[in-house]
Chain A
Amino acid sequence: MGEVILGMPGPWAKKFHEASDHYTTKIGGLPDWPFPQEALDSNLLKCRTCGSKLSLVTQVYAPIKSGALMLEERVLYILGCLTLACGKTTLSWRALRIQKPCIEEDESNAAHGSAVPNSEPSEPAKETSWWEGFDEEDNEDMDLLELGRALSEAATSASNHKKKSGNQNSCTVGNPSSLKLTLPDYDSNVTVIPCFYIYSVEEASKDVTSVSMNYSSLSIKESRTSTDDNAEKEERWDEEQYEYDRALTADRTYLKFKKRLDANPEQCFRYSYGGRALLAEKVELENPGTCELCSCQRHFEMQLMPPLLYFLQEKAKGPLKETLENWSWITLMIYTCSQSCLGSHNTKNRTKGWIVAEESVLVQSE
C-alpha cells in the first residue's frame, strides 16, 4: 500500500485532439469517454467559478485490485479551467471518476480462473494459453480487456517479452482500427491542452536516497579539511545537536518534496491509492469531504506534479502558453471515494452502465 507509482512522460500525440480509448493514460488532449459525451451532464464540464468549459488535463486509467475487489473499468478525468482569472482555487478544477461494475467480468474471470493461481515456473505456459484464448474469442469487449491485461503481463515478465513482442505489435496495430482513431468533431469552444502519453514507473525508495550520490557538479574538497588540522587542534568546539534541514527560503516539508522530485525529475503525477500525499507546504489540509454517492470518507488517490506544467508550457504556443503560465499550482491532490463505490442503480441508465462520480481536488499553490 505504501508504494507509489509515478507517471512519466511518454511520446507526444501526433495531433493534440486525436482520440484514443479510455484505457489510455494521457495528459491533455480530448477526454475519451467510454460513452457518448452527450450522455454526460454538461454542468460537470463547466467551471464553477467562471462557467467556461473545462479542458482535460489528465486522463488516468486506474483499475483497482485489492483482495476481492476487482474494478477493471475505472477511469479518472481531471479537468481544469484555462481562463485567465481562474485556475487558482479548488473550484476551477474537477475530478470525475467513471466506473462500471464488473458484472460481465464473470465470464472473463472464469476463463482466466485457471490462470489465477499461478507460480513463477508455470508462467511461460500460462502466457501461451492466453494468446491462444485471445485468438478464439470473438467478443470485442473481451479483446480489449485481454489486450490490456496481456500487454501488462508481457511487460512485467521480461523473459517472455521478446518472444511475444511479435504478437504484441501486431495486436496493437490491429486493434486501433476498431477504435475511433479518426479525429472526431469536437467542440471548438474547448481549449485543447497539448497531449502526451504516460507510462508508469514504480518509485523505488533507493532512488530517493541515491539522488545525493549523483551530484558530481558539486565539488567536494574533502582533502582541504585535512590541511587545516593544525589550526583545528587549537580550537575546541562545543557539541552540536541534530538540526533539521533549513534553507533561507525553504522549510523542511518543501525540501522533502523537492528531494523526491529530484529523484525522478520528470514525474508528472504520483499515484498511490489510499496512500499519503506528498505535501509541498506544511498546511492543514482541508477535509476532502465525503463521497456524493455513498457518503463514505474520501481518501487520497493521486497528485499532479509541476514537471507536467513545464512540459505543457514547452509545447504550447501563443495565447494557450500564456494561460498555462498563469497556473501557479505546485501540486494538485485528488481524493476519491475510499470504497470506490458504484452508487445506486438509477443513475446508470443514460450512460450505458457507467457511473459518473465527482471527486474532490485540493490545490497547493506556490
Chain B
Amino acid sequence: MADRGAGGDRGGFGRGFGGRGRGDRGRGGRRRAPRQEEEKWVPVTKLGRLVREGKIRSIEQIYLHSLPIKEHQIVDTLVGPSLKDEVMKIMPVQKQTRAGQRTRFKAFVVVGDGNGHVGLGVKCSKEVATAIRGAIILAKLSVIPVRRGYWGNKIGKPHTVPCKVTGKCGSVMVRMVPAPRGAGIVAARVPKKVLQFAGIEDVFTSSRGSTKTLGNFVKATFECLLKTYGFLTPDFWRETRFSKSPFQEYTDILAKPTGKPLILEDVERVDA
C-alpha cells in the first residue's frame, strides 16, 4: 500500500497531510518552479534576521562587535550594490585515481568596493562556473574592513596603510609600507588586484618566500590587510566606551556582556 507514489519509503511522512496545506498554498507555494535569484532571502542566523528587518544599517556595526557573518546575503544587503568582484585565476587541480586523473578547478575571486572593504574567496569544484560562483559567495563571507592612513601630512582622504604591516601564509610573507601620494601600488600583479579592491591608493610592498604559490601569496596579502585594524596606534589610546551590541540593543533581553573593546569606534568617524 502506498507504494504507489511514495516509493515504499520508511518514513511515510509525505502522505496523510489532511486537507489543509494541500489545496491552497498561500505562502511559499512554489514547488519545483524555476527559481529566481531575487527570491526572498530567508535568514538563518540571528544577525541575518536583524539585517533583513533593516535594524542594522551599516556593516561597520557588525565589525564593531566582531560578530561572525555567516550569510553572504548579509554582505549583499549592506555593502552589496557597490561591491565588485573579479576572478583572479582559475587553476586546475589534479588528483590521481585508479581510473586516471580527476581534474577539478580552483577559482580565486576577490570582491571589494574600492573603499575599505575587501574579501577573498577560494573554491574548488568540478566545473569552472560552479567554482567561480562558489568562490564569490565565500569571498563575500570574508569581507573585512581595511584601515587606511597617511604617509605624512594629513591632508585629504587617507590613501595608504597607516603603518608598516606584515602578513604571512605558508612560507610567503608580504610586507606593506606606507607610501606618499602618487606612488601608486608597488606590488606584483596579483596582490595589486587585492589592494586595488581594498581601496588603497599608494603602498610599497615587499614579499618573501615562495610567492609562486598563488594561494599563499594572495592569502598573505589578505592577512596583511586584516591586520591594519589590529594594530594599536596612538589614536586608539583614548579610553573606549563600550556600546550595546546589536543583539542587546534590538532585543533588549538578557544583556550579554560582550566586553569587547571598541577599537573600531573611530572607524565610523575617520572613514565617514
Which A residues have a C-beta under 8 Å from some C-beta of B?
1, 3, 5, 8-12, 20-21, 23-26, 60-66, 70, 72, 84-85, 109, 112, 115-116, 118, 123, 147-149, 151-153, 155-157, 168-169, 171-172, 175-176, 196-202, 204, 212-222, 224-225, 228, 231-232, 235-243, 245-250, 254-255, 258, 261, 265-266, 271-274, 301, 306-307, 309-310, 313, 322, 325-326, 328, 330, 366
Do A25 and B254 touch (CB < 8 A)?
no
Which B residues have a C-beta under 8 Å from some C-beta of A?
1-6, 8-29, 31-32, 35-46, 49, 52, 68-71, 76, 84-87, 89-91, 93-95, 104, 106, 121-124, 129-130, 132-134, 136-138, 141-142, 144, 189, 210, 212-215, 250-254
Do A63 and B1 touch (CB < 8 A)?
no
CB proximity of B176 to chain A, nearest CB, Å: 19
CB proximity of B64 to chain A, nearest CB, Å: 15
CB proximity of A247 to chain B, nearest CB, Å: 4
Do B41 and A20 touch (CB < 8 A)?
no
What are 13 A-B contacts with C-beta separation under 8 Å?
Answer: A5-B11, A11-B21, A62-B13, A116-B1, A152-B17, A153-B15, A169-B23, A215-B136, A217-B37, A225-B87, A239-B93, A249-B70, A313-B49
Contact of A247 among B21, B31, B40, B138 (CB under 8 A): B138
Taking CB atoms, residues of chain B closer than 8 Å to A309 are 49
Taking CB atoms, residues of chain B closer than 8 Å to A115 are 1
Do A65 and B141 touch (CB < 8 A)?
no
Q: B38, B40, B104, B136: which has the most chain A beta carbons within 10 Å?
A: B136
Do A271 and B13 touch (CB < 8 A)?
yes
Do B134 and A245 touch (CB < 8 A)?
yes
Do B43 and A306 touch (CB < 8 A)?
yes
Do B68 and A250 touch (CB < 8 A)?
yes
Tell me the bound Cα distance from A322 to B251 in angstroms. Answer: 6
User: Known contacts A12-B27, A214-B35, A326-B254; is A157 also within 8 Å of B5 by CB?
Assistant: yes
Do B21 and A10 touch (CB < 8 A)?
yes
Do A218 and B85 touch (CB < 8 A)?
yes
Do A63 and B22 touch (CB < 8 A)?
no
Contact of A212 among B23, B25, B130 (CB under 8 A): B130
User: Known contacts A84-B254, A306-B45; is A273 also within 8 Å of B13 by CB?
Assistant: yes
CB proximity of B51 to chain A, nearest CB, Å: 12
Tell me the bound Cα distance from A366 to B85 in angstroms. Answer: 29
Contact of A249 among B2, B141, B215 (CB under 8 A): B141
Do A366 and B45 touch (CB < 8 A)?
yes
Q: A26, A272, A274, A306: which has the most chain B beta carbons within 10 Å?
A: A306
Do A151 and B21 touch (CB < 8 A)?
no
User: Known contacts A9-B28, A238-B213, A243-B122; is A218 also within 8 Å of B133 by CB?
Assistant: yes
Tell me the bound Cα distance from A158 to B93 in angstroms. Answer: 46
Do A307 and B44 touch (CB < 8 A)?
yes
Do B15 and A148 touch (CB < 8 A)?
yes
Contact of B22 among A26, A155, A214 (CB under 8 A): A155
Tell me the bound Cα distance from A210 to B28 in angstroms. Answer: 19
Taking CB atoms, residues of chain A closer than 8 Å to B251 are 322, 325-326
Taking CB atoms, residues of chain B closer than 8 Å to A214 are 35-37
Do B4 and A157 touch (CB < 8 A)?
yes
Do B18 and A118 touch (CB < 8 A)?
no
Tell me the bound Cα distance from A11 to B25 in angstroms. Answer: 6
Q: A200, A201, A243, A245: which has the most chain B beta carbons within 10 Å?
A: A245
